[in-house]
């Protein structure tokens, strides 16, 4: 035998090939399941983010509206209610866009 001739690998049987493909397929499925399965921490962070995306515009609108109503003479809740409603709409839109993206 010459040093330049490549070594021939023994032929694998069809059962070995089937077993190899099956093991590779199962390993791929296990890896994919680990990547797709969110942990408790990840779910908590996701829900917390949704809460902040909704609550911050609502609270910001309420405070801004209250401040504007305080600038007016007499009793008024016009700005508070208007900006509170606007905060709810913006918060809902934020949550919708975030969920659609992720």
Domains of the chain by residue range: 39-101
Q: 30 by DSSP, 3-state: which?
A: helix
Taking the C-alpha atoms of residue 95 and residue 76, their distance in angstroms, rounded to an integer, is: 30
What are the CA-CA distances from residue 13 to residues 4, 17, 23 (Å)? 27, 7, 16
* Cα–Cα distance for residue pair 56/60, rounded to 1 Å: 6
Which position has the higher pLDDT, 35 or 59? 59
pTM to 2 decimal places = 0.62
pLDDT band at 39 (very low <50, low <70, confident <90, very high): confident
For tokens 């016009």, name the residue: 78
- Taking only the tens place, the pLDDT of each residue in 81-96 is 999 999 999 999 999 9
Residue 48's pLDDT band, with cuts at 50, 70 and 90, is very high
Helix axis angle, 78-101 relative to 40-71, nearest 10°? 160
């Amino acid at each position: 035998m010459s040093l330049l001739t490549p070594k021939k690998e023994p032929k694998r049987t069809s059962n070995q090939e089937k077993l190899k493909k099956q093991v590779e397929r199962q390993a791929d499925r296990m890896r994919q399941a680990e990547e797709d399965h969110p942990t408790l921490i990840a779910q908590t962070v996701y829900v917390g983010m949704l809460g902040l995306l909704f609550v911050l515009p609502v609270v910001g609108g309420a405070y801004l509206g209250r401040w504007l109503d305080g600038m007016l003479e007499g009793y008024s809740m016009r700005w508070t209610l208007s900006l509170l409603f606007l905060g709810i709409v913006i918060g809902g839109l934020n949550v919708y866009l975030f969920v659609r993206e992720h």
